[in-house]
Amino acid sequence: MQTAPSQYPPQPQLYQQPPGGPGLAQMSSSLASLSLQGNTPEALRVVNLLQERNLLPAGPIPAPTPPLPQDLQKVNCNPEVFRCTLSSIPQTQSLLNKAKLPLGLLLHPFKDLSQLPVVTSSTIVRCRSCRTYINPFVSFLDQRRWKCNLCFRVNDVPEEFMYNPISRSYGEPQKRPEVQNATIEFIAPSEYMLRPPQPAVYLFVLDVSHNAVETGYLNVVCQSLLDNISALPGDTRTKVGFITFDSTIHFYNLQEGLSQPQMLIVSDIEEIFLPTPDSLLVNLNECKELVQDLLKSLPHIFEKTMETQSALGPALQAAFKLLSPTGGRVSVFQTQLPSMGVGALKSREDPNQRASAKDIQHLAPATDFYKKLALDCSGQQVAVDLFLLSAQYCDLASLGCISRYSAGSVYYYPSYHHQHNPAQVERFEKDLKRYLTRKIGFEAVMRIRCTKGLSIHTFHGNFFVRSTDLLSLPNVNPDAGFAVQMSIEENLVDMQVVSFQAALLYTSSKGERRIRVHTLCLPVVNSLTDVFAGADVQAVTGLLASMAVDRSVSASLGDARDAMTNAAIDSLASYRHAALTIQQPGLLAPACLRLFPLYVLALLKQKAFRTGTSTRLDDRVFSMCQLKFQPLVYAMLMIHPTLYRVDDLSDQGALNISERTIPQPRELQLSVEKLCREGAFLMDAGSVSRGPPPNVHQTTRAFIGWLREQRPFYPSLHIIRDDSPQKGDFMQNMIEDRTESALSYYEFLLHMQQQISK
């Protein structure tokens, strides 16, 4: 279990300087002598995919290292935070078109970082023209002038920036931390505030219908809040409130001075109003005892309810009215299809059609109510997180809009029940603790800038696009990922490098206005060979997955599947016909793209995009939500799970982490031919792990524990034996094998070769 981080990194010294950043002279000479002939031959080694079957590397696949001078590479942005599908940027759009590879960026902008330089300064140095923040990739013409690396304007160096408090010397602006770190955080001065920073405000909206009480989730939520109430991110201004709902809406007066919480019921759900607007959100410090009393009593108040209806829409309207003056976070817990008032839904799923349908219906929302309300929320700095705990269809395609457009998160626990599904209960408990205590940013906006000549045109993730390049994020959390697509609008002929910068402006839970800035620098190349050499196969796959989700909803699932297959075929056809100097038989790929066909086949068999198997509509839609919202490293585990043999683990090759020995088994291909009856295997599919019985030896336990610590959500472990009813779920992830409705990996390669040869 990953421990909750502190609300933000501890305040370091005023400035923090890493060793060895580029100075003025070194950077200028590096840019002048930049050569791209240093591409590693391994990236371009020709691989015949029909002959070379063992393609998986011994360890994690690293992001490609851009062929930059060492001093630039040393300060470049961490690829876990900011990476590009092509680590060498084509000089022209026509060269990009020839490569048939998507160009885009993948970001994890609010990732928990162990070392984050934090700068307090009354002057934040930015380009006067394009507003880019000064960064390691600008050039200093002299000690008084610097040239922007995005729009090339020459700017003056402010007087204050001339002083370096680390060396206590004057006249070395290139040694300031802002010019030494590709990721940096500023504590912003007053001009970055439209209003005083908002307090941390948390509103919990809880389904208390008969169905909800039956699942037992209410006990878990209330107990988790009791356990973590003091760990909620915030300060002395933190506010909390509670709304419960069934066919009516129940508010709770928690004002200081009351002897016990007071329930206020509003039964007119057509015209929802706040019964006592000033006492429903209360200061947590001042009213903590009343809040705790309410949490202890809530499960008992409704334990005998026979009310079966759900007025989720009116409850959300009430939440919006309550939080509009301040902004904040709404946490909604829902266990069934909303049945009353605005936003009521009817079941759109026919189980009989799941396996036989040629295309999947109802991936788009049934109503625009939830999207419209989400946009209203976004305008008032309110984000809505949705926890869906249900055994029945809930129309996540419609309900998910409330989180998608308000920059919230969606959590999904199918078949949740406190007695019948202990694995889901454990996962919910662990996820909820992380959710309640993790870092949070309020009233945030993010802008992504790029060097002149490049253009950003499509965004993926949970947000609202407020203007052409400004994302509105009422809340931002460390588990959210984003992606953007790009094009080359003007030739980059005179450029050796281009840069990208993501700036996230937010209010911390302690009420500080902060700006986190990430800058990425990549070389420009003019040959197709160099473009292919810089392909980042995981980033390409992650961006394709997001694009395919959009296409599934706007066009059809069939269109999305065809587009992904064609992406793999077209790129390898281009490589064969335009980049290879010596033609040879077989299905050929550069080593850096050798996993591309496998990953595309994995996407075709992924729950979001597969056909012909009995996939529940909510399960499919949730998988689509995750592919759009999760940072790349976690999305890749969903796309291509990792299979290990764990019955023969030893300490040989183990890692020593925090005085623990963690064995590192080799990753196996996802094929039944890698399994054997006498073995025990662990499959890591992101949020679910399937593996050996609980009596396995200590090294295996240590390995499973280490895997769980590597991610923010809690993977539940299912023990599957040869005769287990869950064996089918395990076999679904054997991507390289043929299924009733999908090709094997080898058959898929033959299909690709046939298409390329046409």
pLDDT tens track for 280-324: 999 999 999 999 999 999 999 999 999 999 999 999 999 999 999
Residue 588 phi, psi (nearest 5):
-105, 140
Out of 404-408, 690-694, 734-738, which region has the weakest mean confidence (pLDDT)?
690-694
Predicted confidence at residue 723, as pLDDT, reads 79
Task: Report the pLDDT averaged over residues 363-379.
Answer: 97
Predicted confidence at residue 570, as pLDDT, reads 97
* Res. 17: pLDDT tops 80: no
User: Which tokens in the block code for residue 261?
Assistant: 């919480």
- What is d(CA 739, CA 757) in angstroms, rounded to the nearest whole number? 26
Out of 168-172, 447-451, 592-596, which region has the weakest mean confidence (pLDDT)?
168-172
Q: Specify the residue for token string 């299979």.
A: 643
* Res. 35: pLDDT tops 60: no
Predicted confidence at residue 60, as pLDDT, reads 81
**Residue of higher predicted confidence among 440 and 646:** 440
Task: Report the pLDDT averaged over residues 627-635.
Answer: 95
* Res. 273: pLDDT tops 80: yes
pTM of the model: 0.92
**Residue of higher predicted confidence among 582 and 541:** 541
Which domains are present in the chain? 24-33+65-192+441-534 (2.60.40.1670), 201-437 (3.40.50.410)
User: Which tokens in the block code for residue 198?
Assistant: 């908002």
Residues 447, 469 contacting (CB under 8 angstroms): yes
Q: Tell me which amino acid residue 173 is.
A: P
Categorize the per-residue pLDDT at 358 as very low, low, confident or very high, splitting at 50, 70 and 90. Answer: low
Predicted confidence at residue 30, as pLDDT, reads 45
Predicted confidence at residue 15, as pLDDT, reads 34
Q: Specify the residue for token string 């009420």.
A: 511
Beta bridge partners, 43, equal: none
Residues 8, 514 contacting (CB under 8 angstroms): yes
Predicted confidence at residue 441, as pLDDT, reads 97
pLDDT tens track for 105-124: 999 999 999 899 999 888 89
- What is d(CA 375, CA 472) in angstroms, rounded to the nearest whole number? 10
pLDDT tens track for 466-515: 887 899 999 999 999 999 999 999 999 999 999 999 999 999 999 999 99
Predicted confidence at residue 256, as pLDDT, reads 86
Radius of gyration of the chain measured on its C-alpha atoms: 27
Predicted confidence at residue 485, as pLDDT, reads 97
Task: Report the pLDDT averaged over residues 87-108.
Answer: 97
User: Which tokens in the block code for residue 424?
Assistant: 């889901």
**Residue of higher predicted confidence among 287 and 698:** 287
Question: What strand order describes the sheet that includes 154-156?
Answer: 139-142, 145-147, 154-156
User: Which tokens in the block code for residue 106?
Assistant: 């993948």
- What is d(CA 409, CA 621) in angstroms, rounded to the nearest whole number? 14
Categorize the per-residue pLDDT at 208 as very low, low, confident or very high, splitting at 50, 70 and 90. Answer: very high
- What is d(CA 46, CA 597) in angstroms, rounded to the nearest whole number? 15
**Three-class secondary structure of residue 516 per DSSP:** strand
Out of 523-537, 563-577, 653-667, which region has the weakest mean confidence (pLDDT)?
653-667
Predicted confidence at residue 639, as pLDDT, reads 95
pLDDT tens track for 418-441: 999 999 999 999 999 999 999 999
pLDDT tens track for 523-539: 999 999 999 999 999 99
Predicted confidence at residue 346, as pLDDT, reads 96
**Three-class secondary structure of residue 617 per DSSP:** helix
Hey, how many other C-beta atoms are within 10 angstroms of the C-beta on 426?
14
Task: Report the pLDDT averaged over residues 125-148.
Answer: 95
Q: Which is nearest to 9 in space by CA: 128, 137, 111, 135?
A: 111
User: Which tokens in the block code for residue 738?
Assistant: 């043929």
Burial 540-570 (b: 16+ CB within 10 A, else e): bbbbbbbbbbebbbeebbeebbeebbebbbe
Residues 513, 481 contacting (CB under 8 angstroms): no
* Res. 147: pLDDT tops 70: yes
